[in-house]
């Protein structure tokens, strides 16, 4: 996803690249946002999008600082693929996804089902399903629906709930878990 030919290498980018290659253990996460437990120096997001054929394996936070260019790439990756609409994804949601992934002790990337949704896409999905909220957090860039091939929906749900960071929905029939940075709550079966 990154076009390295047209970007200049900054000191931060070089340090980021070095940090990515120097990491040998799975990262843990600080309590900077008030809901992640443990301590660590990096945060990394791994996802595939079957809708676009894209994948991302991105270190987006190092030693207390978010990496703006990495977050920009994550925003684009999690865009509404139906409209190509891009919205800033709330970093708290990215942190919850990353923390839950870490708790699951996997290197397999998430499969992104839905990130940002445009109002048009959300309305279309509401017409098709009663399970789509009119004021979905997807509209605000505050939610993601994901799955893993190697973990059950129940395992993913429990990991996300352990983060105590926001809303967690369990959609066993559709094989995905919803995670958002809203109030701590849960639903689904």
Query: Do 169 and 178 contact (CB within 8 A), yes or no?
Result: yes
Mean pLDDT of 137-148: 97
The tokens for 161 are 């709930």
Q: What is the DSSP letter of 179?
A: E
Which residues form the domain of 92?
11-188
Q: What average pLDDT does the segment 165-186 reach?
A: 96
As a whole number of angstroms, the distance between CA 97 and CA 106 comes to 13
Q: Does a structural domain hold residue 1? A: no
pLDDT at 99 over 60: yes
For the chain, what is the domain count?
A: 1
3 inside domain: no
Q: Map tokens 């290498």 to a residue.
A: 9
Indicate the DSSP class of residue 76: H
User: Residue 8's pLDDT band (boundaries 50, 70, 90)?
Assistant: very low
Mean residue pLDDT across the chain:
84
Predicted local distance difference test score (pLDDT) of residue 189: 81
Task: Decide which of 94 and 38 is more confident.
Answer: 94
Lowest mean pLDDT among 15-19, 58-62, 85-89, 145-149: 15-19
Question: Is residue 6 one of the residues assigned to a domain?
Answer: no
Extract the tokens encoding 90: 């709330």
Asked whether residue 92 carries a pLDDT value surpassing 90, the answer given is: yes
Residue 60 forms part of a structural domain: yes
Alpha helices in 38-135 (DSSP H): 68-77, 91-103, 119-128
Residue 8 backbone phi and psi in degrees, to 5: -90, 145
Separation in Å, CA 122 to CA 88, 130, 136: 17, 12, 8
Chain segment 12-67, per-residue pLDDT in tens: 543 444 444 333 333 333 333 444 444 358 999 999 999 999 999 999 999 899 99
CATH number of the domain that residue 122 is part of: 3.30.1380.10
Indicate whether 56 belongs to any domain.
yes
Q: Is residue 4 part of a domain?
A: no
82-90, long-range: CB < 8 A, 24+ apart: 82/118, 82/120, 82/121, 82/124, 83/118, 83/120, 83/121, 85/116, 85/118, 85/121, 86/116, 87/116, 87/140, 87/141, 88/141, 89/115, 89/116, 89/141, 89/142, 89/144, 90/140, 90/141, 90/142, 90/181
Both structure tokens of 93: 């949601």
For residue 3 the two structure tokens come to: 């076009």
Residue 2 located in a structural domain = no
Would 5 be classed as within a structural domain? no
């Amino acid at each position: 996803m990154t076009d390295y030919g047209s970007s200049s290498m900054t000191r931060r980018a070089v340090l980021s690249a070095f940090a990515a290659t120097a990491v040998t253990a799975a990262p843990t996460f600080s309590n900077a946002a008030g809901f992640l437990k443990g301590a660590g120096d990096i945060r990394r997001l791994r996802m595939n999008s079957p809708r676009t054929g894209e994948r991302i394996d991105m270190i987006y936070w190092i030693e207390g600082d978010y990496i703006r260019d990495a977050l920009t790439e994550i925003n684009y990756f999690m865009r509404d693929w139906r409209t190509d609409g891009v919205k800033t994804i709330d970093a708290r949601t990215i942190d919850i996804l990353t923390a839950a992934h870490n708790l699951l002790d996997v290197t397999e990337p998430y499969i992104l089902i839905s990130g940002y949704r445009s109002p048009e896409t959300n309305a279309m999905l509401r017409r098709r399903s009663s399970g789509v909220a009119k004021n979905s957090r997807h509209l605000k860039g505050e939610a993601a629906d994901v799955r893993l091939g190697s973990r059950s929906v129940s395992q993913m749900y429990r990991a996300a709930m352990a983060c105590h960071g926001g809303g967690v929905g369990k959609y066993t029939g559709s094989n995905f878990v919803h995670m958002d940075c809203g109030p701590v709550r849960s639903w689904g079966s």
